[in-house]
Amino acid sequence: MSLTEATTSISTLQDGERPWPKVLASYRKPHRGRSLLELMVTLVPFVGLWSLAAITVHYGFWWGMALTVPAAGFLLRLFMIQHDCGHGSFFAHRTADDWTGRVIGVLTFTPYDYWRRAHAAHHASAGNLDERGVGDITTLTVAEYHSLSGLRRLAYRLYRNPFIMFGIGPIWLFLFKQRLPFGMMRSGTEPWVSTMATNLGIVLLAVIPIWLIGFGSFLLVQLSVVVLAGSAGIWLFYVQHQFEETHWSQGPQWRFQDAALHGSSYYELPSILRWLTANIGIHHVHHLSSRVPYYRLPEVLRDYPELRGIGRITIMESLRCVKLVLWDERRQRLVSFCDARVKPSQ
What percent of the chain clears pLDDT 90, i.e. is strictly above it? 83
**What's the chain's average pLDDT?**
92
Say what the pTM is.
0.92
Angle at the Cα of 251 (from 259 to 120), degrees rounded to 5?
50
The shares of helix, strand and coil residues in the chain, as percent rounded to the nearest 5, are 65, 5, 30
Sign for the CA dihedral angle at 92, 36, 123, 330 comes to negative
Q: Name 164's Cβ contacts closer than 8 Å, sequence gap at least 6.
A: 158
**126 SS3 class:** coil
Helix axes 68-86, 32-58, angle to 10 degrees: 150
Rounded distance, CA 174 to CA 168, Å? 10
Residue 147: how many CA atoms within 13 Å on its side-chain side? 7
Q: Name 140's Cβ contacts closer than 8 Å, sequence gap at least 6.
A: 148, 156, 326, 327
Burial grade of 131 (CB within 10 A; 0-12, 13-18, 19 or more): middle
Backbone angles phi, psi at 288, to 5 degrees: -65, -35
Whether 14 has a pLDDT exceeding 70, the answer reads: no
CA 124 to chain centre: 15
Reported confidence tier of residue 345, pLDDT bands at 50, 70, 90: low
Query: pLDDT for 26-78, tens place per residue?
Result: 999 999 999 999 999 999 999 999 999 999 999 999 999 999 999 999 999 99
Angle at the Cα of 220 (from 216 to 222), degrees rounded to 5?
115
Q: How many residues does the chain have?
A: 346
Question: Taking Cα atoms as reference points, which of 47, 179, 42, 158 lies closest to residue 115?
Answer: 179
Beta strand residue intervals within the chain, DSSP E: 140-141, 266-267, 312-313, 326-328, 333-335
Query: pLDDT for 190-213, tens place per residue?
Result: 999 999 999 999 999 999 999 999
User: 88: phi > 0 → left, psi -120 to 50 → alpha, else beta; which?
Assistant: left
Query: pLDDT for 288-335, tens place per residue?
Result: 999 999 999 999 999 999 999 999 999 999 999 999 999 999 999 999
**279 SS3 class:** coil
Q: Name 292's Cβ contacts closer than 8 Å, sequence gap at least 6.
A: 24, 27, 28, 89, 285, 286, 300
